[in-house]
Amino acid sequence: MNNSFGNRLKSLRKSRSITQSELAETLDVTQQTVGFWENGVSIPSVETIIKAAKYFGVTIDYLLCVDDRPMIDITGLNEQDISVIQAIISYIRKSKK
């Protein structure tokens, strides 16, 4: 079984500094189940994948390694806030060239 999903999930979990048990509680599964996903033993249901993507603020495609572009949730931000975020992203991209 391809373990890309498991690696992506583990990376997202660690980036939030949460344990498998904490993630399991959020997703209404057991810690063992999260461990199985991270180790490529099994994969979650579609409903759980959607819930995990929403929790981490990423797209389902990102979580499933179909796309490597994570999503930035701008819900609730006004146009000025969004403009500032876009300027920061542009600055970072230019500085990497």
pLDDT (tens digit per residue) in 12-36: 999 999 999 999 999 999 999 999 9
**Average pLDDT score over residue span 76-80:** 90
Separation of first and last alpha carbons in the chain = 37
Homologous superfamily (CATH) for 4-63:
lambda repressor-like DNA-binding domains (1.10.260.40)
Among 3, 45, 36, which Cα is nearest to 53's?
A: 45
Statement: residue 73 has pLDDT above 80: no
How high is the pLDDT of residue 1? 39
How high is the pLDDT of residue 2? 46
User: Which residue ranges make up each domain of the chain?
Assistant: 4-63
CB 65 within 8 A of CB 4: yes
Of all residues in the chain, the percent with pLDDT exceeding 90 is 60
Statement: residue 74 has pLDDT above 50: yes
> Measured between alpha carbons, how far is 33 from 26 in angstroms, rounded to an integer?
13
How high is the pLDDT of residue 57? 84
